Amino acid sequence: MSKKICMITGANSGIGKAASIQIAARGYHVIMGCRSRARGETALEDVRAKSGSDAVDLLIVDMSLQSSVREAARHIETAYDRLDVLIQNAAVFDITHKQIAFTEEGVETIWATNHLGPVLLTELLLDRLKENSQGRVITIASKGLMAKPFLRVDLEDPEFRQAGFDVTKAYYQSKLAQIMYTYWLAQRLKGTRVTANCIRVPIVAIDTNRYPNMPGFLRSLYLLKTRMGLTPEQMAETYTFLSTSDEVSEVTGCYFDEKNRSVKSRRYTSDPDNIARVMQLTMRFLDI
Ligand SMILES: NC(=O)c1ccc[n+]([C@@H]2O[C@H](COP(=O)([O-])OP(=O)(O)OC[C@H]3O[C@@H](n4cnc5c(N)ncnc54)[C@H](OP(=O)(O)O)[C@@H]3O)[C@@H](O)[C@H]2O)c1
């Protein structure tokens, strides 16, 4: 039997890169989905060296563009004979980003990257995941949502075309939508051998050098937060556990914390009517 294959997006830095190393070291063939060839190639070299595995590939995909996501899915279908794990890790959250931005396909960038791209890629690869004895989809949300108890996905204006743009709201809205997509998917996948779970990521150190335009005071704040948080390697342990452990091979529709415990998400996210509304909205953006 060929090696199990795990595709992870946003794999050139932070938690995604650390998880690529750990999962490759466990004997999985890892496909690192990255938008920048230069950053991807540098990370690929490092992941191969640190995992001691050559079964690590780079796949260029810009998760904000549906055309790029479709091309990546086609590539996976033709170049690989299986897909066992799909980790939707890529996301944008740059708090220096004050102005609304739209992709070249005309969608607000955070909504496009953090929610629509992951949904589209997952949907396009579901049949491939179903072919194995067991497939796993893992999505990523944020513990920071606990500080936003009243936030909802704005069903009328998810792209801030009418309301003033707020990067924090845009980011957390996309993460709420990812949790709801995971529950929706797990429900739809009942009776198949594919599971869908979401990870609640707490504060994890980020590389502030990735944000050269970050003002000094914000940089100091981030450094402080970073000292209090987990390292990407520590957080990646949960990604690795959910991707590879037999303990969770049949667990689906759950929200996991950094200690690999199943925790509750806000009641809003598990309400079937809310989920149906958010998924109807989501599908209006996607031609699937
Ligand atoms: N760090 C935290 O405190 C924290 C807290 C809660 C949740 N999270 C979540 O944890 C996950 C990993 O974050 P991290 O901390 O490891 O941050 P990170 O180092 O900034 O990683 C984000 C990754 O996503 C990639 N990415 C962004 N836009 C993309 C696009 N359009 N197409 C493809 N890749 C794209 C980035 O690539 P580029 O190098 O090209 O930008 C980068 O590799 C994210 O989902 C994040 O929302 C993190």
The pLDDT mean for the chain works out to 96
CA 191 to each of CA 71, 188, 198, 225, 287: distance values in angstroms, whole numbers, following the listed order: 29, 8, 19, 42, 26
Nearest CA to ligand 1 atom 37: 10
State yes or no: is 183 an active-site residue: no
From CA 222, how far away is CA 206, in angstroms rounded? 8
Residues present in the chain in total: 288
CA 210 to each of CA 18, 79, 207: distance values in angstroms, whole numbers, following the listed order: 16, 31, 6
Nearest CA to ligand 1 atom 23: 10
For residue 22, report the distance from its CA to the centre of ligand 1, in Å: 17
- The answer, yes or no, to whether any atom of ligand 1 lies below 6 A from the CB of 140, is yes
Q: Which residue type does 186 have? A: A
Q: How many domains does the chain have?
A: 1
Of 28, 171, 181, 255, the catalytic one is 171
Which distant-in-sequence residues (6+ apart) come within 8 Å of 150 by Cβ? none
Which distant-in-sequence residues (6+ apart) come within 8 Å of 148 by Cβ? 172
Which pLDDT does position 1 carry in this prediction? Answer: 64
pLDDT tens-digit profile of 136-167? 999 999 999 999 999 999 999 999 999 999 99
Task: Record the tokens describing residue 193, joined without a space.
Answer: 């051998």
128-164 in b/e burial notation, b at 16+ Cβ within 10 A? bbeebebbbbbbbbbbbbeebeebebbeeebbbeeee
Model pTM greater than 0.95? yes
Which pLDDT does position 173 carry in this prediction? Answer: 98
Please answer whether residues 153 and 102 qualify as being in contact, where contact means their C-beta atoms are separated by less than 8 angstroms. Answer: no
For residue 149, report the distance from its CA to the centre of ligand 1, in Å: 23
For residue 14, report the distance from its CA to the centre of ligand 1, in Å: 7
Q: Find the domain containing 77 and state its range.
A: 5-285
pLDDT tens-digit profile of 60-82? 999 999 999 999 999 999 999 99
Q: Tell me which residues of the chain have a pLDDT lower than 50.
A: none
Please answer whether residues 242 and 261 qualify as being in contact, where contact means their C-beta atoms are separated by less than 8 angstroms. Answer: no
Which pLDDT does position 208 carry in this prediction? Answer: 85
- The answer, yes or no, to whether any atom of ligand 1 lies below 6 A from the CB of 128, is no
CATH of residue 52's domain is: 3.40.50.720
Residue tagged 């595995």 (tokens): 53
